[in-house]
């Protein structure tokens, strides 16, 4: 549901069992971190990973980055201990994998309350199954505590029985349905990860595709993906200049319709231009 704008161009996953990565992350220029207890952590490593994630949140050493913990699903043996540890640590959000229904959201919110999760800790829901894509609008609209939807494209590909293909042609409908549901419910939406960490060209193309589809940012898995995603999900210099010029042209008119750079401008374009400028300002403020 709706919340004030906060840049989430880059949201980096890291296994909470990887102490070197947890240390390195303090210096990385990402907007948010997902301290993972789920798929990136082997079963034997989960107890220590839980302690590491909680300690990282409580350390106060990650600057302005948003800190989240991805816990294991409610149907797993680790969920209760993960939730207890996250409740005590009080991150900005708890990321819950494989959320498949509005009822599951309501149950999670009730379990947050029962576990004493602080008010400021939001729910980020992972949308990563065919069922979740088809019911995304109901899921994302189920509670004000759910503020961010995170696409899990690895699980989605697995559940669809398809392969990862160039341009994600076999996921286009799912991606667009998820963005539609997010916009209809005022939920922030993050694109899925790109697994081929050494393929810079492929990653850039996927960032651009995600931006064009309307995602607010990208979940990433490697430091090499930070700079291109930060750039791709920020308004470009040209977009900022265009927004400023368009607003000025409109505001010096009689408030009807004008042209700017040869294109028609109406009030709705001014609203979009103002949104672009406010995103740019929020990014600048975060970087400062
Ligand atoms: C993918 C990796 C396993 C690659 O690791 P590695 O081969 O060690 O990478 P590098 O040697 O190139 O690393 C260079 C340095 O960067 C640090 N590093 C690497 N990754 C991270 C990270 N994620 N966060 C912080 N720091 C990181 C290394 O420690 C090196 O540092 P230094 O030694 O000081 O130079 C690895 O990148 C990785 O584990 N990535 C995260 C994987 C993860 O969390 N996966 C779970 C989520 S993905 C998912 O499935 C989402 C969803 O559920 C879905 O279904 O799609
Ligand atoms: Mg997943």
Q: State whether the beta carbon of 24 lies less than 6 angstroms from ligand 1.
A: yes
At 230 the pLDDT is 98
In a domain, 33, yes or no: yes
Shared domain check, 156 and 59 = yes
Residue 39 Cα: closest atom of ligand 1: 46
In a domain, 3, yes or no: no
**Which residues of the chain fall below pLDDT 50?**
1-3
At 5 the pLDDT is 80
Sign (positive or negative) of CA dihedral 175, 178, 184, 186: negative
Residue 136, phi-psi category: left (phi > 0), alpha (psi -120 to 50), beta (remainder): alpha
At 1 the pLDDT is 37
Shared domain check, 193 and 266 = no
In a domain, 2, yes or no: no
Q: Which domain holds residue 101?
A: 10-232
pTM of the model: 0.97
Shared domain check, 271 and 216 = no
In a domain, 4, yes or no: no
Q: State whether the beta carbon of 221 lies less than 6 angstroms from ligand 1.
A: yes
At 4 the pLDDT is 60
First to last CA, the chain: 28
At 256 the pLDDT is 87
Residue nearest to atom 33 of ligand 1 (CA): 20
Q: State whether the beta carbon of 223 lies less than 6 angstroms from ligand 1.
A: yes
Domains in the chain, number? 2
At 255 the pLDDT is 81
Residue 54, phi-psi category: left (phi > 0), alpha (psi -120 to 50), beta (remainder): alpha
List the CATH number of the domain containing 156: 3.20.20.60
Q: Which residue has the tokens 């409610």?
A: 74
Residue 22 Cα: closest atom of ligand 1: 25
- The DSSP bridge partners found for residue 66 are 32
Whose CA is closest to 130, among 160, 105, 152, 170? 160
In a domain, 1, yes or no: no
């Amino acid at each position: 549901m709706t919340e004030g704008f906060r840049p989430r161009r880059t949201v980096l996953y890291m296994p909470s069992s990887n102490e070197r990565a947890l240390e390195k992350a303090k210096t990385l220029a990402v907007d948010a971190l997902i301290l993972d207890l789920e798929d990136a952590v082997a079963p034997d490593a989960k107890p220590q990973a839980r302690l590491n994630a909680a300690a990282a949140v409580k350390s106060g050493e990650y600057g302005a980055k948003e800190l989240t913990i991805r816990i294991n699903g409610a149907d797993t043996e680790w969920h209760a201990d993960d939730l207890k540890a996250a409740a005590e640590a009080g991150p900005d959000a708890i990321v819950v994998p494989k959320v498949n229904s509005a009822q599951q959201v309501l149950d999670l919110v009730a379990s947050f309350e029962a576990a004493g999760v602080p008010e400021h800790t939001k729910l980020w829901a992972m949308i990563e199954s065919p069922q979740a894509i088809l019911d995304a609008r109901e899921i994302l609209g189920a509670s004000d505590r759910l503020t961010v939807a995170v696409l899990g494209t690895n699980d989605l590909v697995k559940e669809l029985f398809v392969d990862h293909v160039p341009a994600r042609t076999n996921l286009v409908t799912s991606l667009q349905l998820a963005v539609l549901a997010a916009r209809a419910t005022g939920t922030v939406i993050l694109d899925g990860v790109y697994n081929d960490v050494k393929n810079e060209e492929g990653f850039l193309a996927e960032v651009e595709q995600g931006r064009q589809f309307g995602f607010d940012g990208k979940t990433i898995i490697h430091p090499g993906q930070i700079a291109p995603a930060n750039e791709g999900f920020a308004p470009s210099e040209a977009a900022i200049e265009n927004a400023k010029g368009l607003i000025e042209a409109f505001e010096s008119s009689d408030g009807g319709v004008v042209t700017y750079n040869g294109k028609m401008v109406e009030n709705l374009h001014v609203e979009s231009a103002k949104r672009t400028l406010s995103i740019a300002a929020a990014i600048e403020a975060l970087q400062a």
